[in-house]
Every structure is written in structure tokens, then in C-alpha cells.
Structure 1
Amino acid sequence: MFEKTKLEPEVLLCTVVMFQKILQLYKITRYTLKPILSTIIMIQSKLNDDRGMKLPSFARHSGIPVDNLMKMEWELCQVLDWKIYVRLREYQEIFDKIINEE
């Protein structure tokens, strides 16, 4: 999805941080993985990508209908108590883990 949408690399790192927060709250299944990740990517692209992407384009690339994405975005933001911004410390921890694994 990242190649097709040309999202900034920061979006991926912030997606990982937000996904870790969700994992602490919910058990992810093979049925919920794609919708949750797609929604997190969409949220983080809104926050961290200057170019951004319109919702219909994002729905087309993710294969998830616009209405579903909108509902999931609302629900995830509610679950996280609207703490959807990634702190610099959180970002740096993920970045360091990735760099150190290479």
C-alpha cells in the first residue's frame, strides 16, 4: 500500500507505534488485521503526511469502503481517547529498533 499511495516513511513508523497501542487493548485476528492497519495508516497519514490522500483514494487502495473507514477511524480514535499523536520519544524508539536490526 505504501508504494501505491506514496506515503511518507514517517507514516509507517507512526503506524507501528499506534498499532502497538491498539495491541495492548485488543486481540487482533486475521479478520481484523487489515481493517485496523488500514485505518491506522489513514489516521497517521492525515497527521504526518503533507501531501495527504483523499478518503476515496485511500478506500480504493485499501479495498475498504469509505463508510467503513470513516466508522473505524471514529472508533479507533474513541478507543485511544483521541491520543493519536505519536510522541517524539515513541517515534525514536521504533526508529532505533529498526536501525539496530539492520
Structure 2
Amino acid sequence: MSSRLKTRFDELKQQNRAALVTFITAGDPDYATSLAILKGLPDAGADVIELGMPFTDPMADGPAIQLANIRALAAKQDLARTLQMVREFRQGNQTTPIVLMGYFNPIHK
């Protein structure tokens, strides 16, 4: 477990509360909007952020996430841009854990 994730869950355990874990698809509907949403999630109460990496064939996901993947890919979101998004997020937030979620195929390339 990453140190940010462990630290956050330790804090939540001390506070005796559950984590609010949020999910967004990187690049949906476009890079700038997605980055703004990502940056706003901690202030909105997110304890942990799952950031979906768009994939062309997201068969394990439901319709809402499948459509988010289609929109993100149409906006030219890819793994490199997703990692850049995390770097930009980290410039202003060093504590909120981000878990990258995706399929193995694009990572394995």
C-alpha cells in the first residue's frame, strides 16, 4: 500500500469513520475540465481518489464509465496525459491518495 494511502486510512481509523472514495475518468469530458474536477475533489470531501485511465474496450465497467471512456478517448486522453494530470494535481496537493484504475492492456504495451 502506498504511504499516502496507508496514512489516509490510519487517519480515518483514528477518526472512526469510513473513507469517501471517489472515481472519475481522466480526460472526461476533456483534459481541462477533468483536471479541475480532480483538483476540487479533496475540498468536496474525497478521502481517496480513483482516477480511471481510459481504455477502448472497458467491458468490465458499467454504461456510465464506458461512456466516460469514449468521451475521454475522443478528447485524446491517453496514459501519458493521465500521468501528466496526476503531476499537475500533485503540484497543489501532496496528501490526497490517488489510485490509478485501468485495464492491463494499455499499460502492458
TM over 0.5: no
The two structures have a TM-score, normalised by structure 2, of: 0.29
**Bigger radius of gyration:** 2
The two structures have a TM-score, normalised by structure 1, of: 0.30
Quick check: which one's strand share is greater?
2
Instruction: Point out which structure has higher relative CO (alpha carbons under 8 A, 6+ apart).
Output: 1
